[in-house]
Structures are given as structure tokens and as C-alpha cells.
């Protein structure tokens, strides 16, 4: 499970995502680095907007809930 904070020009969003969900947005390399280091940052580019991703790995033994949190 990953805690994710996505920052765009006009918004910020926070969520908890599984590895499978996250794989649809960032590369496998970023996911593996997050798991190895505990955290990572990356940027995704599109025609509409540049998004900055702040990722933190939550080990499966964590007692934190797994529901998405949106701001």
C-alpha cells in the first residue's frame, strides 16, 4: 500500500493506493524505488497538466486503514 500526494497547478489530492492501482500512473521503477527507500517523488507530464507525485510505502504490517483520502 502506498500513501500518495498528487500536486498540480490548481489542486492537491491525497490517497492510499495499491501497487496495482499505482502502476496505472507511474513507472514500475518508481514503484520499486519507493518500496526500497520508503519514499519517492516523480513528475508526470501531459498536454493538460504537470503532476508532481509524492509517494510513501506503507508496509503490509501497518495498522493504518486503506481507504482513499481526498482533499
Q: How does pLDDT run across 1-58, given as a tens digit for each residue?
A: 999 999 999 889 999 999 999 999 999 999 999 999 999 999 999 888 899 999 999 9
Give the separation between CA 20 and CA 18, rounded to whole angstroms: 5
Give the separation between CA 23 and CA 30, rounded to whole angstroms: 9
Asked whether the beta carbons of 3 and 44 are under 8 A apart, the reply is: no
Give the separation between CA 37 and CA 64, rounded to whole angstroms: 19
Name the pTM for this structure. 0.76
Amino acid at each position: 500500500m502506498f500513501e500518495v500526494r498528487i500536486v498540480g497547478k490548481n489542486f492537491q489530492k491525497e490517497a492510499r493506493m495499491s501497487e496495482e492501482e499505482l502502476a496505472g500512473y507511474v513507472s514500475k521503477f518508481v514503484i520499486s524505488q519507493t518500496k526500497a527507500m520508503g519514499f519517492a517523488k516523480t513528475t508526470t507530464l501531459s498536454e493538460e497538466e504537470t503532476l508532481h507525485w509524492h509517494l510513501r510505502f506503507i508496509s503490509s504490517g501497518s495498522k493504518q486503514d486503506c481507504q482513499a483520502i481526498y482533499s
